[in-house]
Structure 1
Amino acid sequence: MAAPRKYPDELRERATRLVVEARRDPASAAGAIKRIAEQLGVHPEALAAETPKSVTAVMAKAKREGRVFIDWSQNNPAKTTIAPYSLRGREDPTVSAPVTWDEVRACRQAEDLVFTAEGVVARVEKIGDLFELLSGTRVALPRP
């Protein structure tokens, strides 16, 4: 078994504070984690500064060409973006599912494009897997 790593006292103190603050108020845990991550220098701008040729925190496509965009705005408990055909973590979970442009044009209210686990299985059996078109698509990621 490997010997335990020795961490600097300051890092241990900050990590302990993160855990204590997150446990104190679970509703604000994400905010506590974000604040302490920023104090530790773990945020998009710091990562971009360390590796400017391969990482950026700038959203504008024209300014990030050839680099990986770190979109930390997605790291938020209020966000619901997930992979296709995944259940969302809610009391009544819905399923993330690709839709056609015809379905988008015909949509009159958000509920028209809400899918349940049972409903999405029946939908795929009826119209096929819309995401399958991308299964053979590969994009090379930039190397640092």
Structure 2
Amino acid sequence: MTPITEVEGRRLALTNLDKVLYPATGFTKGEVLHYYATVAEPLLAHLHDRPVSFLRYPDGPDGQVFFTKNVPPGTPDWVRTAEVPRTEGPARMVLVQDLPSLMWAANLVTEFHTPQWQVDAPGLADRLVFDLDPGAPATVVECCEVALWLRERLAGDGIEAYAKTSGSKGLHLLAAVVRMPSSDVSAYAKELAVEAERALPALVTHRMTKSLRPGKVFVDHSQNAARKTTATPYTLRARSAPTVSAPVTWDEVASCGGPSRLVFHADDIAPRLHRHGDLLAPLLTPSP
């Protein structure tokens, strides 16, 4: 019998709670739901008013993994949705605005991905993002070095950067910006990626070409495009273990001492929130 749970007055059917989704650690779907309930406050703050793309993995990361951008079939009528523009025509997408909506979405078993703009101003970015992706044998250690260079470079333009793990191999750098067209933010981000390659030629490439990436950090600036999304802070990732895209301090980045560092799992996040609060809270200040 499917258990029915009431969350803030909304009735939810939560299914297959004992199903193991992360075989490497035995982490179950029930634990996924518990994790998202535990981090709901900061996660919802970063999801607020941003249309969500779901990267679903209902049978775990070794099963079928697929993106869902349109409103999924069976979405409750109390889950807020919004029409957003796309080059192929407008689409209706989900907005995860409250705890019931978050728990409904978590029951789908998903990573949360969001654009750099809010639904009231599609294509007007209020965030800048860099995805630092290491090409083996480079690791997160090299990403940390590049992140520190980009932080200083952004500070030179009066922009304060914040860091989080990707939840995979690398790091994400984020900064709040005054709302402007995504194309302008993309152009600026590309300029900085090119500068980083020029300053650190043995360490950085700004191009995705696979032959250029071994041993270097790919400074991916493309996620600033209006059509692109980035893993939302605090989302679980579809990896062998329940890793999280977790905010980190700059001291942690500066002292990154090995490829096993700066990897955080679901059980690590509540203690980190207790210790640090939401390290990305400055990004939530409304832009003019």
- Scaled to the shorter chain, the TM-score interval is 0.3 to 0.5
More helix by percentage: 1
- Normalized against structure 2, the TM-score is what? 0.24
Counting strand residues as a fraction of each chain, which structure ranks higher? 2
Q: TM-score, normalised by structure 1?
A: 0.43
